[in-house]
Each structure stands twice: as structure tokens, then as C-alpha cells.
Homo-oligomer: A and B are copies of this chain.
Amino acid sequence: MDIATLRKEHPEHWNKAAAIRVLTLDAVAAANSGHSGMPMGMADVATVLFEKHLKFDPKNPQWPDRDRFILSAGHGSMLLYSLLHLTGYADMTIDQIKNFRQWGAITAGHPEFGHATGIETTTGPLGQGLANSVGFAMAEEIQRAHYGKKVVDHYTYVIAGDGCLMEGVSHEAIALAGRQELSKLIVFWDNNGITIDGKVEISDRTNQPMRFEASGWHVQEIDGHDPVAIDAAIAAAKKSDKPSMIACATHIALGSSAQDTSKGHGALTDATLIADTRKVYGWDHAPFVIPVDVQAGWAAIGARGASEFTEWTARFEALPGGKQSDFTRAYALDAPQKISAAVKALKKKISEEQPKVATRKSSEMTLEVLNPLLPETVGGSADLTGSNNTKTPDLGVFTPEDRKGRYVYYGIREHGMCSAMNGMALHGGVRPYGGTFMCFTDYARPAMRLAALMKIPTVFVMTHDSIGLGEDGPTHQPVEHLAISRATPNTYVFRPADTVETAEAWEVALTVKDTPSVMALSRQNLPTVRLEHKNKNLTALGAYVLRDATAKREAILMATGSEVEIALKAADMLEAEGIGVRVVSMPCMELFEAQDDAYRKRILPGGPVRVAIEAGVQMGWDKWLTGERGKSTKAGFVGMTGFGASAPAPTLYEKFGITAEETVKKVKELLGK
């Protein structure tokens, strides 16, 4: 539908949509950067969605039963900011729009979760919003199954661009959504045929409708500028019992001289182009000025949900008190008090029984205790359930037939799993964790980073965390992945040494509110090293003295996970020679770093030689070896310097020199003995 027809046949709609388009042009011009074309192209779809379908209340942006609107094509952030401003979200003032992309503004270049209400997830890295949306829709299904349709019954809407659909993660997301028949997920594809390098066809000729159908989706193709067609398509999508994709043929940078070109994708800042476009739009108002009638039209849209919110509140308050408090507690990410006692009891039992098990098994043992106490956990694995030990008997399996199931068979989709988990965490009410092999954090990196950036407590269960996995060889043996996770800001990387530390790590991971956790767990069996029960969560301190020197303290051995056993053995050998050795277990560097200087100094005093032992690369350890009162002449590392190899684990430890003997040798060298 061309602009003339649109203006003539749908004048009110046109003006509402034009407000988005012009705000975008104005904000991008003011910032002298940004992406104009996408909001200009998708304004019609967004206007109809917000006007006729989206359940939302700007006065209650945290309303748990709101529909979620996800802008997967995050570069078009001005579309979202315009919508939030126009519909009356209090924080999205016109000044924020004027300060688009400036320091301190909530209107970042790409939508950042936590900056403004109404931003459901951080997008920009393409495909992520779409992949998050699968988690949003799953969380909705799970919550609906638990709390009933009266209090949980909402849709997840997504705008995805060509980039989102080219990214591999889109395949994982689409296939998972199709399999799970997530009928309340509705995706608009901004089918504008343009990417940065030119026409889409230069790099992609995928038949997208056919592709979605192949994964079990309901598909429609419409003119993305025709409000009647948009409305009808959304109505039909809502009725479908499959996830829906609506292919919206649109013109990027509609109405400007850059329309339908890759120039239109970027920042349109040319004054003449902007003036000309305003003329085409019939928009005769100063920059950032929305005329009163258009304002009123949008305000009415923003007010539409108020009564629904009131009705919902009444229904929610009619729930049994226990259900209400459970619901609220889970949304607030408040873990039940009782998990602390449960963890203590488990730790005590373990310290007494001293089992020798892999920490992936320890993790399962912990989850067996905690999952029944935390009905909000949703577990899963990327097709390694038996290896990741992520499934406990009480969870059930999430399927179209059982929406109460709390375990997800994600398939061989590490990236899609982690993005979906982020979506669940962002939706609220559930606490997701999911597993794969540590080496395949590589596949999931974009999602793991976004969890950290968004400050959400997704838990990434990463088993087979070193060469200790043995025969599968270097493709499956992480060596740099602990460093990678530790290099990522706002991420707790736990590498517990035994079941006690694993339980403690889970306690932190399931109570923290704003930090994701990586659980690096062994494939191989490890002895219990915490032989004396302590109520206190020592892992929460990041590092602690596991065993202090008996003879005069000359060395400190630091280790994590499976190498703590080696440190203890080396300490025994050195002590037998009269060399006093302190063994420090360091299950979480980030938490240790967060302790005050006095505590860190107590654990790592200056003076003794320091040797760290970890079956990974050294990067990340220098801080504790030569920094933090250490000395470069008195520090050593026992670990990996390159990739692993395929052989039984004990052989690999021997061949790569990660042994008590090598540790003893290094300590004595450093001591000059």
C-alpha cells in the first residue's frame, strides 16, 4: 500500500505511524547516528499491534500478565522508544528521545534491558530477541499451567529482520518453538529485502515462509503497510495452534529518498532528505513535536490496558494466598528461605559420607534437593541430559502435552537453549538452568554475554570442564573456556572441587538476582575435599583456606575443581619433606575479588611462593600469582599451554604434567630447594 492510499484511507492510523517515523528521523538526526530505516518501515505494523492487540499498561509496566513485545531487530531501537514515549511510559520522556544515544540517557543505541520500562530484553546482536522469545513463550506456558489462565494468559510478539533470520540461532529458535507448539508466539518478519551490503538476495534467497512451515509454524504473508491486513493477520495468528510468522512486505526508510536502499538502513541525517520526507508524510511540525490530536490518539492506546490490569489484579488477588505469594516471590527472584537449611544439611551429609563422585553428579545431587524446594526452576540440556546430570525426577518434561513439565529437551542447540533461558529469566517467574559441555560455551557465547550484560541470573551448567573428559579429545576439551567466562564482566564462574562446594555454588547461583553463573563441572570422579562440615558457605567467599600448612608456611597452592585433589596431594608430599604448604581452594575468582582486601590478604599473604594448578590456560591466574602481593620470581603455574589430546584422562594429566609431582617440583624450584 503506497503512502497516498494509506494517508487517504487510514488517516488516523497514518498520523500515529508517522509520529514514530518522524520521531525516529529527529532522534537519529540529533544523535547524528542510528538506524532510521527500520522504524520507518515497520511503523505500521507496530501501530496496529499496539493499537489493536498488545495487552499492556504503561502505568504498570511490570504487570506480569502483559503481552511481551520484543524488538529483535534491535538497531531499530527508535521504533521501541517512540512507542514507549507515545503510549505514555513515564520514564520515556521526550528529553530521553532527544538524548538518543547519549551518555546517561536510557535511549541507548540498541535497547538495553533495565534502562527503561517496556524494554523486555537487550537486542542488537541479531537473532537474540527472536531466540529469547522462545523462552518468553515457554515461561508463559509453564506459568499458565501452574497458575491458571485467569492470571497468566499473554502473547509474545517479536519483530525480526532479515539479519535475525539469517543468523544461525534463528534456526535453533524456530525449530524449538515449532516442536514445542508455542502458539502464543507471534513473529513479524520485516521483509524489506535490504541489508547493509545491499539487497538481501546478494547473500540470501531462502524461502522464509517455506522454512518456517518446515519447522511447524503458521505462516502468513501480508503487505506490512496495510493496517487492515496487519490487523487481520494478527487476529489469525492468535487463533492458530502453532507459533506464527507474519511475513510483512515493507519498504525500508519508507517515503524518503533512501527508501528501499541499504543507505536507508543506516542514519538518515541529511537535512534535505528529512525535510522532504516530512513533506511526503504531510507532517508539518517542528522536530520532536507531536501534535495534540496524534498525542491523544496514542494516549488512548496507552490507556487501553488499564481496565484489563485492574481486572487482572482482582483475579490475581482471588488466588489462594500461598499461590499469590509463590508467584510474587518467584517474580522477585526471592529464593525460599528453606533452601539454605537444605544446602547445609546436604553439605553435612556429604562431609560425613565423603563420596567420590564427579561434580556433574554432585550437581545432580544438589538439584535433587533444591528443585523440589524451588518450583520456579526449569532445567534442561542441549541433548546431553545423562552427561550434564541436569534432570531430577520431580521435574517432569515440558511438552505441548504437559506444560507443567519443568525439564526441557532443548535438542542440539546450545545457543538457542541459552538464549531461550535468558528469555525465561527475563519473562520472570522462572529460574532457568541448562547444560552442555563446557567446550560448547563457544556456541552459546552471544547468549552468555547478554545474560551478563542484562544482569539476569541464568545458570549455565557446563560439564566435562577440562582434559579430564579424556578420549573425546581436543575438540571437546575446554582449555581457554574458564578464562573466557572469567573475562566476561558480571559472570560468576564456579569450578567446585567436590559435592560440598557444588552445593554451595548452586546456593549462590539460585539466590543471586543480577548475575549469571557458569557451573564448570567435572566428568571424572573427585574425592570429597571438604571433610569438616561448616555451615558457612565458603564458596560464596570465592576462595578460602582448605588446609593450612603444618610445617612453617613456605608455599601456597591455589587450585579449582578437579585440581584441588592434586594440590592436596602435592601439599602432603611437600609437608612430608618439611615444607609447609597452604592449600587454597578458589571455586569462584569473581567472588574472591569482591571480598575486602583484608580477607584476600588473609588468604593470600605476601611471602610464600605461589603455585596455581588448573587444567586450563594460565590467563586469569596471574592476578593471583604475581598480583595481589605476589612476586613474579616466586610464582608458578601448573596447567595447559595449548590444546588437549585424545586419550584416557589419567594419561592426559600425566602427559600434560598436571600432577602432584610436577607441582612439588615447581614449588621446590621456586624455593630454590
Q: Can you tell how many copies of this chain the complex includes? A: 2
Contact A412 B195 (CB under 8 A): yes
A179, CB-defined interface residue at 8 Å: yes
A42: min CB distance to chain B, Å: 18
- The complex places the Cα of A505 from the Cα of B127 at a distance, in Å, of 33
Interface residues in A452-492 by Cβ distance below 8 A to B read 452-453, 470-476, 479-480, 483-484, 486-490
Q: A210-B210, A445-B443, A472-B124 are in contact. Are A176 and B203 (CB under 8 A)?
A: yes
Find A475's partner among B123, B384, B385, B474 (CB 8 Å cutoff). Answer: B123
A506: min CB distance to chain B, Å: 22
Closest to A469 in B: B109
Contact B487 A483 (CB under 8 A): yes
- The complex places the Cα of A446 from the Cα of B126 at a distance, in Å, of 18
- Would you give the 0/1 interface string for A601-637, flagging 1 where the beta carbon is closer than 8 Å to chain B? 0000000000000000111101101111111100100
- Which residues of B lie under 8 Å from residue A475 when comparing CB positions? 74, 109-110, 112, 122-125, 450, 453
Contact A645 B211 (CB under 8 A): no
Closest to A449 in B: B442
- Which residues of B lie under 8 Å from residue A416 when comparing CB positions? 168
Interface residues in A1-39 by Cβ distance below 8 A to B read 31, 33-34
Contact A101 B214 (CB under 8 A): no
Stretch from A159-167, A225-233, A544-552 forming part of the interface with B: A159-167
A153, CB-defined interface residue at 8 Å: no
Q: A101-B471, A413-B168 are in contact. Are A109 and B646 (CB under 8 A)?
A: yes
Q: Could you say which of A104, A196, A629 has the most chain B C-beta atoms within 10 Å of its C-beta?
A: A196
A524, CB-defined interface residue at 8 Å: no
Contact B126 A168 (CB under 8 A): no
Closest to A408 in B: B203
Contact B415 A168 (CB under 8 A): yes
A422, CB-defined interface residue at 8 Å: no
Contact A383 B443 (CB under 8 A): no
Contact B412 A163 (CB under 8 A): yes
Closest to A618 in B: B623
Contact B168 A169 (CB under 8 A): yes
- Which residues of B lie under 8 Å from residue A33 when comparing CB positions? 470-472
- The complex places the Cα of A215 from the Cα of B206 at a distance, in Å, of 4
- Which residues of B lie under 8 Å from residue A179 when comparing CB positions? 201, 203-206
Find A112's partner among B176, B474, B642 (CB 8 Å cutoff). Answer: B474
Interface residues in A173-210 by Cβ distance below 8 A to B read 175-176, 178-179, 195-198, 201-208, 210
Contact B214 A647 (CB under 8 A): no
A149, CB-defined interface residue at 8 Å: no
- The complex places the Cα of A433 from the Cα of B197 at a distance, in Å, of 17
- Which residues of B lie under 8 Å from residue A122 when comparing CB positions? 475
Contact A630 B619 (CB under 8 A): no
- Which residues of B lie under 8 Å from residue A625 when comparing CB positions? 627
- Which residues of B lie under 8 Å from residue A479 when comparing CB positions? 489
- Which residues of B lie under 8 Å from residue A470 when comparing CB positions? 33
A625: min CB distance to chain B, Å: 8
Q: Could you say which of A170, A210, A386, A622 has the most chain B C-beta atoms within 10 Å of its C-beta?
A: A622
A327, CB-defined interface residue at 8 Å: no
- Which residues of B lie under 8 Å from residue A413 when comparing CB positions? 166-168, 203
- The complex places the Cα of A33 from the Cα of B524 at a distance, in Å, of 14
A252, CB-defined interface residue at 8 Å: no
Closest to A490 in B: B642
- The complex places the Cα of A626 from the Cα of B627 at a distance, in Å, of 6
Interface residues in A296-311 by Cβ distance below 8 A to B read none
Contact A473 B124 (CB under 8 A): yes
- The complex places the Cα of A176 from the Cα of B200 at a distance, in Å, of 12
- Would you give the 0/1 interface string for A528-566, flagging 1 where the beta carbon is closer than 8 Å to chain B? 000000000000000000000000000000000000000
Closest to A216 in B: B205
- Which residues of B lie under 8 Å from residue A445 when comparing CB positions? 442-443, 445
A387, CB-defined interface residue at 8 Å: yes
Q: A442-B449, A489-B642 are in contact. Are A197 and B384 (CB under 8 A)?
A: yes
Contact B641 A489 (CB under 8 A): yes
- Which residues of B lie under 8 Å from residue A409 when comparing CB positions? 197-198, 202-203
Find A34's partner among B203, B387, B471, B647 (CB 8 Å cutoff). Answer: B471
A51, CB-defined interface residue at 8 Å: no
- Which residues of B lie under 8 Å from residue A450 when comparing CB positions? 475
Closest to A209 in B: B214
Q: A409-B197, A472-B109, A645-B103 are in contact. Are A213 and B210 (CB under 8 A)?
A: yes
Q: A204-B411, A386-B196, A487-B483 are in contact. Are A167 and B166 (CB under 8 A)?
A: no
- The complex places the Cα of A645 from the Cα of B33 at a distance, in Å, of 15
A46: min CB distance to chain B, Å: 21
Contact A647 B205 (CB under 8 A): no
Closest to A489 in B: B642
A171, CB-defined interface residue at 8 Å: yes
Contact A646 B110 (CB under 8 A): yes
- The complex places the Cα of A136 from the Cα of B168 at a distance, in Å, of 20
- Which residues of B lie under 8 Å from residue A206 when comparing CB positions? 175, 178-179, 214-216
A515: min CB distance to chain B, Å: 12
A447: min CB distance to chain B, Å: 9
Of the A-B pairs whose beta carbons lie under 8 Å apart in the complex, a sample of 14, sorted by A's number, is A102-B651, A109-B473, A124-B472, A162-B412, A195-B383, A205-B215, A207-B214, A210-B214, A487-B617, A487-B620, A490-B643, A618-B623, A619-B619, A627-B635
User: Apart from A125-B442, A167-B443, A210-B214, what are 18 other A-B pairs with CB-CB below 8 Å?
Assistant: A34-B471, A102-B647, A104-B647, A108-B645, A124-B472, A163-B412, A168-B171, A168-B172, A179-B205, A198-B409, A202-B409, A207-B214, A210-B213, A211-B211, A442-B445, A484-B484, A618-B623, A631-B631
Q: Report the 7 A-B pairs with minimum CB-CB distance, sorted nearest first.
A: A168-B168, A203-B411, A171-B171, A622-B622, A108-B646, A124-B475, A103-B647
